[in-house]
Amino acid sequence: MSRIGRLPVPVPDSVQVEIKGSHVRVKGPKGELAHTFPAAMKIAYKPEEKAITVERPSDERQHRAWHGMTRALINNMVVGVSQGFEKVLEIHGVGYRAEMKGKDLVLHVGFSHPVPVSPPEGIEFEVDTKSRPMRIIVRGYDKQRVGQVAADIRKVRPPEPYKGKGIRYAGEAVRRKAGKAGKV
């Protein structure tokens, strides 16, 4: 049995859950998420226990794969609408910086022009200019969307291997290369 799939998903008091067959809608203080899961999975909400459970019909390979994934996605939905998610990016490099213009993020990362990034619905940016290296915080209630927006921002100027300049995730280790050796 799946170790992740068999765990019940705890539901806080501030979250409302609506299940119709394999369609799950979760609403909380941060927002609302809905997703349709594989029809084979049996999803049940137990209000007295304040928990959502996921059961699989058989031990077929596909059902085992869906079991843990379905439970993890439901957990991400519940945590997202109640607490939210965030990804932290760091900007390394002399003269590299970020700033906010309204809700948009504007990156100055060595190009001849600034690069504006508009937040999609449900995502907000924050720039911490006091920290060194400068930090960009991406917040939202949809874990997948937060991760995708953070990856798109990183893609504007990924860290390069010689000096390590660029945008990287907080705590990301960048493998450095030696560069050219001088004459002796």
Q: Could you report the per-residue pLDDT of 116-160, keeping only the tens digit for each?
A: 999 999 999 999 988 889 999 999 999 999 999 999 999 999 999
102 with 150, same domain: the answer is: yes
User: Does the pLDDT value for residue 183 go beyond 80?
Assistant: no
97 with 76, same domain: the answer is: no
95 with 137, same domain: the answer is: yes
Question: For position 35, which CATH number holds?
Answer: 3.90.930.12
Residue 68 lies in a domain: yes
**Domain limit, last residue, from 57, 82, 107:** 82
User: Is the Cβ–Cβ distance between 5 and 75 less than 8 Å?
Assistant: no
Q: Could you report the per-residue pLDDT of 8-26, keeping only the tens digit for each?
A: 999 999 999 999 999 999 9
108 with 158, same domain: the answer is: yes
Residue 145's domain comprises 85-169
DSSP per-residue codes, 67-91: HHHHHHHHHHHHHHHHT-EEEEEEE
Q: Which of 10, 34, 33, 30 is nearest to 20 (CA)?
A: 34
**Domain limit, last residue, from 82, 102, 136:** 82
How large is the average pLDDT for residues 62-84?
A: 95
Consecutive H or E run containing 63: helix 61-82
